[in-house]
Chains A and B, each alone.
Chain A
Amino acid sequence: MDLTTFLIQCLNALQYGLLLFLVASGLTLIFGIMGVINLAHGSFYMIGAYMAYALSPVIEATLGGGFFLTLLIGLALAVLLGYLLEWAFYSYLYNRDHLQQVLMTYGLILVFEELRSLLVGDDVHGVQIPDFLSGSIPLGEVMSYPVYRLFVSAMCLVLVVGLFYIFNRTRLGMMIRAGASNREMIQSLGIDINFLYRVVFAAGFALAAFAGMVAAPVSSVYPGMGNEVLIICFVVVVIGGIGSIQGALVAALLIGFIDTFGKVLLPEAAGVLVYLAMAVILLWKPNGLFKAA
């Protein structure tokens, strides 16, 4: 592998890892803080991707279009949808056992897949890359790297930094972390924990949907795309340590690199490398790399 290929693969790995993190961060927070195993989290990613596909013509027709406008409206819809879902379904799951959570969230996967099938059909669709991001940057003499992929990584990085800032530096972040360790105490400090949960859930939904939206032009949109992401995100959450957002970031990047380089260097074993890595890490650290309190 020459240096240019290596660099390109690193960029791919980074982009994939960051996208995974956006989905996995919500999953780990919802699991770590509310104690809910959310199997439907992959569907949130799918909903985002299909929003990118379905919204852009609508926004083109009504508001004159615009890539960022589409993203922004999609994000707003995701927050709203997350808020409603929490209120209608997830808020009833907090004190239930894991079996009931798994059953209901699995049911939601079926509902979302069926709704997708009814609304957009079962075909694979491509999503247009906006013109101003459709170019490529030449790397070396024969290779080049698409600008859009760099843009995806940059957007994700901005979100990662923002997320870590909120989580580690703001009062909201302190409350969220505190809520994970002692629900009764946080309420007796005057904080409405149900509202806090709703905010965390809506944010988790929006992050996953955002990842789906920006990934759509690269990956196209297709049935079952959410479930692929869900499984790999559970790997990320488990490796990183359940409830740990730092762990999720490290694990997502790790998986991004293992998967990307695995496909290049050991294509025969690429499918199992990620799971092998998980097994090794869990043997070494049964609670994951970072243990949340």
Chain B
Amino acid sequence: MAGVTIENLRKSYGDIEVMHGVDLNIEDGEFVVFVGPSGCGKSTLLRMIAGLEEVTSGTVAIGDQVVNDVAPSKRGVAMVFQTYALYPHMTVFKNMAFGLMQAKTPEDEINRRVTQAAEILQITDYLDRSPRNLSGGQRQRVAIGRAIVRDPEVFLFDEPLSNLDAALRVQTRLEIKRLHERLQSTMIYVTHDQVEAMTLADKIVVLRDGYIEQVGSPIELYTRPANQFVAGFIGSPQMNFFDADDCNNANASGNITGVRPEHLTQVKSKGLISGKLELVEQMGEFALVHLSTPKGAMFSAKMPLPPTEKLGETLEFNANSDDLIHLFDPQSGLRISE
């Protein structure tokens, strides 16, 4: 097993730089999630670690070895692709064994490893089938199995769940988590889904436009986002932001106030923020209410029960505690620490 060290990593396509000097340290055995909106460079970063994308400058090291010029198969990494990328003309067994066959591994060793991986993933019954006779979830297991049999130092997952339906996604997410507990390998996981990031990661790396915005544990990112972008990206529903003159925050002094919808409570008297009721979404366990500030900005609040007020009436809200009010610089977007 090994950690991954990335130093001043840059990537350009022609004149366009898409990765602007990224530094990152991934500990041995850590589960790291790269998260960010489309085009933020998270997949590019992963593919540079895999060796599928050339490094323009800077270094990628796996363990102690700089792997910039090492072939993907020699880096000790295995990748699970979003589209599964199984070989359609081979059986499940052969799909999993293919890499070992290329490395001229002895046949009984191949059998042992494939059988073992198949048992872990409960796909032993499908070993003779071809991928086209499997469901999406089963295919994804085969793709994970293909990675496991190679016994890599680092697992790379490129949005592995995005082709699965919602229920299966939750289940497979759990299985990946369990797999990490079991194998204790370093895992790097790319997703644009912040729920996946929060639930899976030991450490989340938030990327935007080829820069790292913040690195930290899920709870750190949730409670102390480094800037407005991270604050808005992590957490669902999204954090609300209010201009200084649009809310009743005495400490704002010209800065942007941020409060998560789940940290707002309705009050009778004049509160931190008042809003006109626009829409109520009944979720069952809670109601998500959408409101507009006096200046017309939209925000939302999570309420245990739908409000008794009618649409168009004004509601008052306070934050549950002052610790839950975040302040951001309106120019740079950076967090202002209290």
**Chains A and B form a bound pair:** no
